[in-house]
Structure 1
Amino acid sequence: MFWPWSGPVVLLIWIYLCCGLEGRTQGRSGSGEWTPWGAWSGCSSTCGQGASVRSRRCLRIPQELVCGGDSHQYRLCRLSECPSGAMPFRELQCALYNNRPVLGSQATYQWVPFYGAPNLCDLNCLAEGHTFYYTFGRVLDGTPCGPDSEGLCINGRCLTAGCDGVLGSGAHEDHCGQCGGRNGSCLFVRRVFSEASPPLGQSHGYWNVTLIPTGARHVRVTDRSRNYLALMGSDGRYVFNGDWAIDWPGAFEVAGTQVHYSRTRDHVESLWAVGPTGEDLYLQVLFQEPNPGIEFEFWLPRDAYYALQSHRSPLRQPQTREVEVGPQEAASAWTKPALSFPGPSLPREQPSDTESCQPCPGAKGRTQRLLHYCRSDFVFRARVLARLRVGEETRYDIQVQHSYKNWTPLERREFLWAPGTCPCPLLAPRAEYLVAAQRHINYEGTLDRLLLPHAGYARPWTPREDARIQEVARRCPQAAPLG
């Protein structure tokens, strides 16, 4: 069937569609695409710090908008320190105009940098011996903004480098230490240690507050009492306020970071560290009065959170001792009052001197191994970190590597006690042993310790010893938990 008016209708539809498509093409709002970034250029300086640049091009058709973003990117580059006597970059640029006529006259001057002008990224130079300066345009890219500035001048603007090294990027590290991150790779720990008084009826002494695990960042601790905070390193030695001696406030280098410790007249103590900590630290409190609450917080890598959760070990509590405060500390007007406790003196920690100790007979043989394993509460492999003499006893600071048998859970760090100043067996620091130990709780219930008895079992660890103890575990008459 033929419609006489179908031709004009088809023509009108064709014109409408064409005009519509043309209008859409002309009004297209898309933008072009950037090419990949080119290689970084060499540094703008031959020593000290400068800038390098890389560029990219925008590919677009005439109907497209220009690409969003910058076509050039600058990053900070650091080279070896400039030799003494080298002319600074800005001073060199001013010196290029020495003895050249300026200001429309034939007068010449010697020029030095001038930093009092509004824009530090202009080449503002002061005429030596005169009271005026002249602006010779912009400084070259990579020129420091000022004598003590971290920023560099780029295209007439003073830019500082982000954590990615790119000038003006604004990128910064999150609390986890990730550049440009959003705190997703770590956890925030904020707690209050609220033990109201020394536990187990103790009148005074050191008590563990928390483990600060390896990798902790932005550590902050606050105490508002007459008690004293103390910090111990992973080697068992105190960083400050340990061994019954109170230190002056200040900065302490430990665990690869700087710990700042302060104490005010109104009995407020605090410590803080940026981190990250390169080893475990142990926060303790030295009791003098009931505890109103010790606040602490830090950011932890996720894989370090388990170490914090499992830290509170009753076996690691040090023995309480009498506090001795030096006369200078007691006389200080802005420190907490000196500690004074009645009663007899308690043993103090001293470095262990074992040069006069006699050799110990070793516990050898399958029968001895079986006997010690079955009668012990704990059998474990441990690395000795430190050895100290406490009164007539020896205390080892150990790191538990593996537990074969445990009456209660063992933490990664424990104290192992041995009777006598020349205990048998004698363990050497930095060595690893396979140890059979007992849990010792005294009659009063004030001591709960991990004890290596006299003539107990402690053998240097080897793969062969490991296989032997595994065999003994299967032969023990009583069921012995493994793992």
Structure 2
Amino acid sequence: MELDSGSSWSPWQSWSPCSRTCGGGAATRIRRCLIRHPLTNPCSGEQRQYKVCAVEDCLSGAVDFRQLQCAAYNHRPILQMRAARFEWVPFYGASSPCELSCLAKGQNFYYNFGRVLDGTKCEAGSNGVCINGQCLAVGCGQILGSQEEEDVCGVCGGQNNTCQRYRSVFITPHLTPGSLEYNEVTMIPAGATYIKVTDNSSNYLALQNRDYNYIINGNWAINWPGTYNVAGTKVHYRRSADHEESLEAIGPTKEDLHLMVLSMEQNSGIDYEYWLPNDRYWLYHGERSALQGTHHTVIEAAHSFTLTPRIEANTIPVTTTTISVRRPLAQPCYNTASRRQDWSQRNRLPAPSRPGNCGKCQRVRGKSNRIRQYCEKDFVLHVKIISKRTVGSETRYDARVVTTYKKRFAVLRREFLWVPNICDCPRLFTMREYVVMALRHVNYEQTLNRILLEADSFIRTYRPREDKLMKGLDKECEKQGYQLRVNSPG
């Protein structure tokens, strides 16, 4: 008669309290093997699990946990030493890292007091933790001794199928001899893991946080190589004497990061890659055509000025020079359709052609049109156009919002402006600033929510006097009987 396999594990019980309140301790939980037949084999696997807990650093001046255990024997008699009394400090040279080996102060011997308490680090600077006298490595999900590993997506025991790899090459534009330029290479979205950037030139990689504040190599001052705490992860910055330079981080990042390069010469390309969760990958890169590959648009420098670099602590100053600066900022794409991946990408896009049946664009002028559209439109914005591309039968401008004169809905610092044609009507040029009046467009299926520029939208090249012309237009709208809605926050 074939016996029932008849054994299974019960659910795990709750975790026990942590053995420490700071500095790293251990908690345990157990489960029971439920045997339904006396002749069945026992359950396979561990009955008890340990995990690290309370990993936050203790307050400044707190005593080391192993040192605290040694100090508990201070001035206590040791029988084998004829009741001699000593003060004890940790000794790390013993054969077993999980034995409480303590050195007698002022003496040349140590004594073994038995096992250390659970949760004690095996060695100074080690991530191993002692449990029942055994040194267990911190494994997947903070579980001690776990054989499973996190995949590149950060999933314990995963198969690298919940995220996707994005990889590209950035080439600096043509440089003016004797100048230094900060160019933005890319925006690395929040949630990125296994970030790796490499360069082999006389240029310097730089990094900004989401607020565009420099963290590494900013303001024309070069930091020393080392490890930097950035966006909830550690970024390892390396630079060798032969100009090989890299930035690496395991992640996941908690905020967007802007990868920059301080360009001193034309380079052969900056290689960069990172992994994003599937939903965020398609949000940022999903609209790229498999035929066209994945690309980044390089935009030439917009203006230049002379600056004496500021010298900061722990930095290497860069020579005074004429600086040419541009800051194109990456922004998510909102087409989440699934497409075949193509990693052989470069960073230039072909210019789209204008169809022959476009005709002449309508130009909207005059004070009356300015007031009417200001009152009727949902958004009145001062924007700087960063890039332009054709998406299907529409044109999409990537714009930085400089000033918000009017908004009926929340506006981000960075927005896409959509034009429902590819006829350059209205026509906007990259790296120029405009005042635009636009509508909010939400389609019937509620899948689109965007800022729409119509062919007859009021567009003006921005000049400082535009700020004055916008003042008082709310009152003009009230005089003409327009009912203004309250602006949304954002």
TM-score category of the 2 structures, normalised to the smaller one: 0.5 to 0.7
Give me the TM-score of the superposition, normalised by structure 2. Answer: 0.58
Name 1:296's counterpart in structure 2.
272
* Alignment-derived partner of residue 304 in structure 2: 321
User: Would the alpha carbon gap of residues 230 and 398 (structure 1) be closer, same or farther in structure 2, given more than 3 Å must change?
Assistant: same
Letter in 2 for 1:55: I
Letter in 1 for 2:170: F
Give the TM-score, by structure 1 length. Answer: 0.59
Partner of 1:102: 79
Q: Residue 268 of structure 1 corresponds to which residue in structure 2?
A: 244
User: Which range moved further: 31-40 or 319-328?
Assistant: 319-328
**Cα gap change, 1:131 to 1:182, in 2 (>3 Å):** same
Q: 1:44 aligns with which of 6, 11, 19?
A: 19
Conserved 8 A contact 1:425-1:457: no
Asked whether the 8 Å contact 1:38–1:55 carries over to 2, the reply is: yes
- Judge which range, 46-55 or 179-188, deviates more: 46-55
Give the 5 Å matches for 1:71-470. Answer: 71-78=47-54, 81=58, 88=65, 91-92=68-69, 95=72, 99-100=76-77, 102-103=79-80, 107-110=83-86, 112=88, 113-127=90-104, 130-194=107-171, 197-198=173-174, 207-231=183-207, 233-235=209-211, 245=220, 247-250=222-225, 255-257=231-233, 259-285=235-261, 287-306=263-282, 307-308=284-285, 318-321=301-304, 326=309, 365-366=371-372, 396=384, 408-411=395-398, 414-415=399-400, 439-441=427-429, 448-452=430-434, 456-458=435-437
SS for the counterpart of 1:303 is: helix
Distance 1:32 1:134, change over 3 A: farther
Q: Percent identity?
A: 35
Q: Distance in 2 between matches of 1:246 and 1:83?
A: 32
1:196-218 residue CA offsets vs partner (Å, 9 max, x unmatched)? x539xxx9855553332232223
Distance 2:174 2:131 in 1: 61
Task: Report the CA distance between 1:159 and its aligned residue.
Answer: 1.6
Deviation at 1:186, TM superposition (A): 1.3
Deviates more, 1:161-170 or 1:316-325: 316-325
For the residue of structure 1 that corresponds to 2:79, the secondary structure is: coil
| Worse overlay, 179-188 or 129-138 | 129-138
- Residues 438 and 451, structure 2, Cα contact 8 Å, conserved in 1: no
CA contact (8 A) 1:48 1:78 kept: yes
Query: SS of 2:248's equivalent?
Result: strand
Structure 1 residues 430 and 131, CA gap change in structure 2 (3 angstroms)? same
1:58 aligns with 2:36: no
How many aligned residue pairs are there?
Answer: 386
Distance verdict in 2 for CA 1:270–1:324, change over 3 Å: farther
Q: 1:118: how far off? A: 0.3
What CA distance in whole angstroms lies between the structure 1 residues aligned with 2:144 and 2:85? 35
**Pair 314,90 (structure 1): closer, same or farther in 2 beyond 3 Å:** closer
User: Which stretches in structure 1 are left out of the alignment for 5+ residues?
Assistant: 1-20, 350-360, 374-379, 385-394, 418-422, 442-447, 464-468, 477-483
* SS of alignment partner, residue 408 of structure 1: strand
1:318 CA drift (Å): 4.7
Is contact 1:198-1:207 (8 Å) kept?
A: no
SS in 1 for 2:280: helix
Deviations 1:443-468 (A, max 9, x none): xxxxx34541xxx55489999xxxxx
User: Quick check: which has more Rg, 1 or 2?
Assistant: 1
Distance 1:90 1:180, change over 3 A: farther
CA shift at 1:296, angstroms? 1.4
Greater CA drift, 105-114 or 62-71: 105-114
Whether 2:57 is the aligned partner of 1:70: answer no
Name the CA distance, whole Å, in 2 between partners of 1:139 and 1:253.
Answer: 32
> What one-letter code is carried by the residue in structure 1 that aligns with 2:160?
N
**Which AA in structure 1 matches 2:372?**
R
**Hey, which of these two has a bigger chunk of helix by percent?**
1
Contact 1:217 1:273 in 2 (8 A): yes
Structure 1 contact 43–77 (Cα < 8 Å) conserved: yes
> Residue type of the partner of 1:216?
A
One-letter code aligned to 1:321: S
Q: Distance in 1 between matches of 2:413 and 2:306?
A: 32
SS of match in other structure, 2:83? coil
Amino acid at match of 2:142: G
**Whole-Å separation in 2 of the counterparts to 1:97 and 1:232:** 51
Q: CA deviation at 1:102?
A: 2.7
Q: CA deviation at 1:187?
A: 1.2
